[in-house]
Structure 1
Amino acid sequence: MEKPDLTRSVTARAFAVLDTFSTKYRRQSLSSIARRSGLPLTTVHRLVHDLERQSALVRGADGDYEIGRKIWALGTLASVHAELREVALPYMEDVFGLGNDAVQIAVLDGLRCLIVDRIAGSRTMSVLSKPGTRLPLHASGVGKILLAYGSPELHDAVLGSLDRYTEQTITDSAQLSEQLRAITLQGYAITYAELAEGATSVAVPVRGKAGKVIAALGVVLPSTNTEPQRMVPVLQVTAAALSKKLVDTGLGVAERLL
C-alpha cells in the first residue's frame, strides 16, 4: 500500500484509517490499521481513539477494532437501505398493530446484524436496539436467523468468539450449532433474555431470489409473555408477503443490501 502524505488534513487521515476496513478486514488490531493505512502507529493510536469516542469505531473484547454504530447509522441513509425500509415498513406496521412491543428488520453485516429499521411504541422496553445498531448474531433473534442460514465460513468465525451478554446467552459452540440446525429445520428463532434481561425475541427469515435468505424480520416481547410461539405464524405469513414484494421490486438480492 502506498504510503500517504502526512501533510494531509486530520479528516483525510481519519478516512485513511476507515478505508483499511473491508470485507476481508472487518476486525483489526492497531498495528494492522497502521500497516494498511501507511500511517505511523502513534498517529493511528490517536485517530482510532478519537473515532472510538465518536462511535465510528468500536473495540471488541479481544482488543481489535471494527466499524461502529455511527458509521452504520449513516449507512442506513444509503439508497438501498432507504428502499428496504420503505418496502418493509407497511408489513412491519401490520405486525406492530397486533400489540407487539417492537418490530425490526435486519440484514447481515460481517459478523453482526444491522438493524435497518424498527417500529416501537412508548411501552417498548428501553433495552431495544435502534436503526443503525449492530447486534451480535449469536444472541439476538434476528441475528440467529441470519447466522443459521449463513455460510460455513460465517459459522466458523462467529462460533469462534461467543461473548456473554446475560446469564442466558449461549456461549458453548456445540450448543449453539445444535440450536442453529434446529432453526433451519423449523424456520424461526426464539431467544429468551440472551441479549438483554427481560426481553424475548422471535424472528423469521426474509427471502430473496432463488429463496436465499437476505434479511430477518422479528419482534421483541417482554419476558412475561408466556406464548411467544404465537407470533411465529404471523411473522412467517408477513415475511412471505414481504419477500415477494422485495423480489418484485428488485431488492431480492442479498449483495444489494450489504
Structure 2
Amino acid sequence: MVDRAFALLAAFTAARRSMTLAELSRASGQPPSTALRLARRLVQLGALERDADGRYVIGLRLWEMASLAPRGHGLREAALPYMEDLHEATHQHVLLAVRDGAEALLVERLSARAAVNVLYRVGGRLPLHSTGVGLVLLAHAEAQFQDQVLDRPLVHEPEGVPVSPTALRRALAEVRRTGLAVVERSEPGPLVAVAAPVRGGDDRVVAALSVVVPAGGAEARTLSPALLATARALSRSLGSPRSAAASGGRPVPRP
C-alpha cells in the first residue's frame, strides 16, 4: 500500500502539476478504483489537495514534511546568507545542489530578473555528468559509484552530444585537483557554470555551490575567487575542519 501511495505522489512532475483521477491513474499505473481509494485517503491526510477545478495537486502537508529533510531545507537555511552575498556580487544564478542517487537535486536557486535562461528549477534533478554542480558531486563520490556512472552511455542534453568516458574522467580529476568545475553549454542559451564543493562536519562533500552566467558575461577565473571563498565559508559554518584550517581559523571574507 505504501508503494502504491508513493507511486501516486511520484506521478506529479514539473510539467504535470495537476491531474484528474483518470490522468492520475494512467500516470501512476494504478487501476482507477485503486487510484480513487488512495487519492481520497491522501486528500484526508493533506498529502494531496483538490484545486478549484477538482483536479488533484500536491498538498501542503507533504511540503511541510519535506521541509524537515536536513539535506534539503536544513542545508538551504545554512547556505542562504552566503548564497545571497554571492548573488549580489554576480546578479545572475546561484545554485545549491545535493546528490540523490544518480542525479543532483537542486535545493535552492537565487536568480536575477535578467539572468540567463536555465533549464532547472528548485526541486528539479540535474545530470551529474554535464552540469557544474553535477561534476563536483560526481568527482567527490565513491570510486565504485563513479565507475557505475561512467559505464553507462551518457549524452549531453538537450544538445544530444555523446559524452566520452575518458574525457569525463579527466574532467573529474581536474575538479578534484582545482576544487572547481567549469562547464560551458550552448542550450538553452550560451552560458558558463562554475561550481565548487561544500563540505560538512566529517569533511565529506555534502553539496555543490554554483554560479551560472551568460557566456561572454564573465570568465571562470573572475568568478572563481568569490565562489571558492563562499563555498569555504559555508563549509566552515557546517563544521568542516578542512575549511577552518584553510582560513587559518579566521572567517573567510564574503564576496
Gaps of 5+ in 2: 10-24, 31-57, 241-255
Q: 2:28 aligns with which of 48, 65, 80?
A: 48
2:145 aligns with 154
User: Which amino acid in 1 is paired with 2:75?
Assistant: L
1:207 aligns with 199
Counterpart check, 1:77 vs 2:36: no
Q: 1:145 aligns with which of 136, 140, 155?
A: 136
Indicate if the aligned counterparts of 1:166 and 1:194 stay in contact, CA closer than 8 A: no
2:190 aligns with 198
Q: Deviations over 1:148-188 (max 9, x none)?
A: 11111221222123123155956111110111111101110
Q: Deviations over 1:120-149 (max 9, x none)?
A: 011122324221011000010000000011
Q: 2:217 aligns with which of 216, 225, 239?
A: 225
Counterpart check, 1:123 vs 2:114: yes
- Return 161-170 or 212-221, whichever deviates more: 161-170
Counterpart check, 1:176 vs 2:168: yes
| Percent identity between the two aligned chains | 34
Q: Deviations over 1:80-132 (max 9, x none)?
A: 12221111000000000012311011101111001110100111223242210
Report the secondary structure of 1:236's partner residue.
helix
Output the aligned Cα RMSD: 3.0
- Return the alpha-carbon distance in structure 1 between the equivalents of residues 135 and 186 of structure 2: 11
Report the secondary structure of 2:168's partner residue.
helix
User: Which amino acid in 2 is paired with 1:121?
Assistant: A
TM-aligned CA distance change 1:194 to 1:150, over 3 Å: farther
TM-aligned CA distance change 1:48 to 1:151, over 3 Å: same
Indicate if the aligned counterparts of 1:127 and 1:196 stay in contact, CA closer than 8 A: yes
TM-aligned CA distance change 1:167 to 1:238, over 3 Å: same
Indicate if the aligned counterparts of 1:166 and 1:195 stay in contact, CA closer than 8 A: yes
Counterpart check, 1:237 vs 2:224: no
- Return the alpha-carbon distance in structure 2 between the equivalents of residues 13 and 176 of structure 1: 36
- Return the alpha-carbon distance in structure 2 between the equivalents of residues 169 and 148 of structure 1: 21
Indicate if the aligned counterparts of 2:136 and 2:175 stay in contact, CA closer than 8 A: yes
User: Which amino acid in 2 is paired with 1:83?
Assistant: G
* CA radius of gyration, larger in: 2
Q: What is the aligned residue count?
A: 195
1:15 aligns with 5
How many Å apart are 1:15 and its aligned residue?
2.0
1:132 aligns with 123
Indicate if the aligned counterparts of 1:116 and 1:132 stay in contact, CA closer than 8 A: yes
User: Which amino acid in 1 is paired with 2:135?
Assistant: K
Report the secondary structure of 2:91's partner residue.
coil
TM value normalised by structure 2: 0.67
TM value normalised by structure 1: 0.66
How many Å apart are 1:199 and its aligned residue?
1.9
Report the secondary structure of 2:227's partner residue.
helix
- Return 124-133 or 108-117, whichever deviates more: 124-133
Indicate if the aligned counterparts of 2:181 and 2:194 stay in contact, CA closer than 8 A: yes
Report the secondary structure of 1:94's partner residue.
helix
Q: Deviations over 1:192-227 (max 9, x none)?
A: 006643121000000112321111000101012251
1:164 aligns with 156
TM-aligned CA distance change 1:213 to 1:152, over 3 Å: same
Runs of 4+ in 1 over 4 A off after TM superposition: 16-19, 73-76, 166-170
